[in-house]
Amino acid sequence: MINFFSKQLFLFDPLTIFFLSVIGLVSIPSAIFATGYLRGESALKKLTVSALFLCFVSSMCFVVTAGNLLSFLIFWELMSLTSYFLVVLDYKHEKSVRAGTIYLVMTHAGTACLMAALFILYKYAGSFDYLAVKEAAALMPVNVRNAVFLLSFVGFATKAGVVPFHIWLPYAHPQAPSYISSVMSGVMIKIAIYGMIRFYINLLAPAPAWWGAVILIFGIFSCLAGAIYALMARDLKKILAYSSVENIGIILLGIGAAVFFSGRGMGGLAALALCAGLYHLVNHALFKGLLFLCSGSVYRQTGGLRDMEKMGGLIRPMPVTALFFLIGAMGISALPPLNGFVSEWLTFQVFFSAFTQSGGAVKMFMVLSASVLALTGGLAAACFVRAFGMTFLAMPRSKHAQEAKEANLSMKAGMALLAVPVILFGAGAGLIAPVMYNISQSVLGGEKIAHTFYSVSVLPFTIMISLAALGAVVFILMKFVIKVKRTIYNTWDCGYYALDSRTEYTPTAFAKPFRIVFGFFLLPYRKSEKIRDSFYHVSAFKYETHTTLVFKKYFYEPIVSLIYAFACKMRKLQPGSIHLYILYIFITLVCLVWFVTVF
């Protein structure tokens, strides 16, 4: 008999409170943004959106505060379902329905694995409560624990969009309305991270080190793949989606290191790593939410532009959005003194101290992770120079971009509410890092040690001050001492006729060096066709270049086509002939009788 009754419905510990606050930080501004975004929509749509949004956010809150496996699972599913509804919200596009289906099916596949893991835990715990599970987990046989880890990891990774389970993410995020994608990408995928922390660090503790290693490796791959894909994408929101994959990778570097070190009994180091991971988690929530909101306001104010090839020069019609996007971009490409910098910097410090405190192979592992982090940072910076530059700077590449208007007030308010913390969490790191550290220590348990992050208390703030001061000094010098005289003139055009938007550097061109260098992974290919009005005269020349989505092409599509082919074969078994059907009955009968008599 199954024991569904739980003594522990809810759970409030620093971790859950941390995640609750993350949810609040992102979803409230998104809601405010949405009120502006939906201006002029029908009342019915507004109603449905707000209802679904509410369900979505509250289900996330419940997942985080759930005190037993059952309610965790239920609200997890609810979260998926409501987010699916929000993805297919504008079902007039064929695309969003398809994206929604991909998303839901992938999630369900992940959830199936998760279910298996949870039910195995239940079998051993005899109850769904976390407490009972925590007790039982210590006594479980090793291979069962490993099975639970692998299954649940697949489940969480699918939700978090870890490579190679990220396939749904670049479909679902761009298709959902921006205020939704900001919550999905800012918070929902973090809920999976919550699951990992809760299970691997808290419930199943002590986790063997190799779990951490697995997480780290997946993190590394997500970092690189996410960054590279983000560089290639042309759709603004797709860039953001892929960069979510990348940032999830960075977060996993922290979490994985935490699991790794707690497995090797280095409590202090684990705490540092977890702290860095959590810090980057909240940072990513902030700036990714902000960026999605900005892209949303671009999308709405330009009348549905998402392709960067058609944007450009938007900084003039919509300066405020541009400013906020710039802040977000600086944050995400880890530029001091904004928040992204702090968390990546802390992660580097973690790897450094890990290097000094451990020996042999681990050293190499740490160095590798550090270098991957560095490379990712560089790529991310390139990606967001591209994103901001091509979207907001230079000359508009299309009519829509010319006729863009500035976002309305509540949209601005929503963006501002996310932009301000991006700065605060950077400059105010001295106040925030210790809080994170306490949280991570309380998660890990064990003895309390003062954190050994160097100069986190002062440095970011100092940098901010010095930058500001120097900037001011320079400004004053330029303005009043040197008294610069400026003549406005055309851009230098090598003496040819005047340049226009068609001679600008395009996003695709910007990404070309990377496309060539990472060709082994992106497998770029080009389609070119001559449009000729006679045999002799080519009137136009069409040229496209694409990159291959490796995981989609070589992993998912074969599986799907295999299953489909099998199903089609099965279909032949039912050709509509009644004689055959009757024969099936007889055969079943004979086989069963034979089986029962013989065995």
Partner 1 sequence: MIIGIILGCFLVSTFLLVIAKRITALVHAFRMQSVFLFLYTLYMSIGQQSTELFAVCALVLALKVVIIPLVLMRITRRINTEEDLGLLINPQISLVVAAVLAYLSYLFTYNAMGLAHSSASIAFVASMAAASIGFFLMVSRMKALGQVVGLLVMENAIFLAASVITGGMPFFAEIALFFDVLVFVVIVEVFVYKVNRLFTHIDTSKMQSLKG
Partner 2 sequence: MVFGLINVFIYAAVLAASVIFMLIFLAGGCAPVSMWGWIYIDSLSVFFLFTTAVVCFAASLYSVGYIRTEVEEAKMSGRKARGYFELFNLFCLTMLAIPFLNNLALVWIAIEMTTLVSAFLVGFHNVKESIEAAWKYIIICSVGITFALLGIIFFYYTSSNDAHVRSLEWANMLSASGMFDPKVVRIALIFILVGYGTKAGFAPMHNWLPDAHSQALSPVSGLLSGVLLKVSLYVILRFVMLANLSVGYAYSAKLFMFFGLMSLAVAGSFLLVQKDLKRLLAYSSVENMGLILMGLGLGPFGGIAAGLLQVFNHAVTKALMFFSAGNAVQAYRTNNMNMMQGIIRSMPFTGASMFLGLFALVGMPPFSIFISKLWILVSAFQGGYYGIAALMLILIALAFAGLVYHISRVVLGNPTSSMPRQKENLSAKLAFLFLGVFILGLGFIIPKGFLDLILSCQRLILGQ
Partner 3 sequence: MIMTCKVLLICLSAPLVSGMIRKMKNIVRMRKGPGILQPYCDLMKLFSKEEVVSKNVSWIFYASPAIVFSSGISALLLILIASPGYQDAGSFAFLIAAFFVLGLGRFFQALAGIDAGSSFGGMGSSREMFISSFAEPAAFISIFVLCVSGPGTPVFSFFLAAAALFMVILAETSRIPVDNRETHLELTMVHEAMLLEYSGPSLGLIELTGHIRQMIFFTMLSWYLFPVARAGSLGWILFGLRIMAIILAVALVEVSVAKMRLFRVVDFLSFAFFIALVASIAAGLGV
Which is nearer to partner 2, 94 or 447 (by Cβ)? 94
Consecutive H or E run containing 546: strand 538-546
Contacts of 134 (CB under 8 A, 6+ apart): 202, 203, 205
Residue 588 CB, nearest distance to partner 1 (Å)? 13
Residue 474 CB, nearest distance to partner 2 (Å)? 56
Partner in contact with 579, chosen from partner 2, partner 3, partner 1, none, beta carbon below 5 to 8 Å by kind: partner 1
Question: Binding pattern to partner 1, positions 529-568, x when CB under 8 A?
Answer: ----------------------------------------
With b for 16 or more beta-carbon neighbours within 10 A and e for fewer, the 340-359 pattern comes to bbbbbbbbbbbbebbbeebe
Consecutive H or E run containing 542: strand 538-546
Contacts of 306 (CB under 8 A, 6+ apart): 174, 235, 236, 237, 295, 299
Which is nearer to partner 1, 364 or 591 (by Cβ)? 591
CA-closest candidate to residue 136, choices 189, 230, 205: 205
Confirm or reject binding of residue 578 to partner 1 (CB under 8 A).
Answer: yes
Q: How far apart are CA 462 and CA 579, in angstroms?
A: 86
Q: How remote is the C-alpha of 234 from its chain's centroid? A: 17
Residue 566 CB, nearest distance to partner 1 (Å)? 14
User: Which residues from 74-113 bind partner 2, rule CB under 8 A?
Assistant: 74-75, 77-78, 80-81, 88, 91-92, 94, 97, 100-101, 104-105, 108-109, 112-113
Which is nearer to partner 2, 89 or 315 (by Cβ)? 89
Confirm or reject binding of residue 450 to partner 3 (CB under 8 A).
Answer: no
Cα angle at 21 between 18 and 27, to 5 degrees?
Answer: 140
Residue 597 CB, nearest distance to partner 2 (Å)? 8
With b for 16 or more beta-carbon neighbours within 10 A and e for fewer, the 461-482 pattern comes to beebeeeeeeeeeeeeeeeeee
Question: Which of 487, 528, 534, 577 is in the footprint of partner 1 by CB under 8 A?
Answer: 577
Residue 516 CB, nearest distance to partner 3 (Å)? 6
Q: Which residues pair with 66 in a beta bridge?
A: 10
Q: Nearest 5°: phi and psi at 473?
A: -55, -50
Question: Binding pattern to partner 2, positions 55-74, x when CB under 8 A?
Answer: ------------------xx
Partner in contact with 122, chosen from partner 3, partner 1, partner 2, none, beta carbon below 5 to 8 Å by kind: partner 2
CA-closest candidate to residue 197, choices 184, 187, 207: 207
Residue 2 CB, nearest distance to partner 2 (Å)? 5
Confirm or reject binding of residue 486 to partner 3 (CB under 8 A).
Answer: yes
**DSSP per-residue letters across 13-56:** -HHHHHHHHHHHHHHHHHHHHHHHHTTTS-HHHHHHHHHHHHHH
Q: How remote is the C-alpha of 398 from its chain's centroid? A: 30
User: Which residues from 302-331 bind partner 3, rule CB under 8 A?
Assistant: 312-313, 315-316, 322, 326, 330
3-state secondary structure at position 262: helix
User: Which residues from 532-591 bind partner 3, rule CB under 8 A?
Assistant: none
Q: Nearest 5°: phi and psi at 542?
A: -100, 135
**Rule CB under 8 A: which residues touch partner 1?**
571, 574-579, 582-583, 586, 590, 593, 596-597
**Rule CB under 8 A: which residues touch partner 2?**
1-2, 4, 73-75, 77-78, 80-81, 88, 91-92, 94, 97, 100-101, 104-105, 108-109, 112-113, 115-116, 119-120, 122-123, 563-564, 566-568, 570-571, 574, 576, 578, 581-582, 584-585, 588-589, 592-593, 596
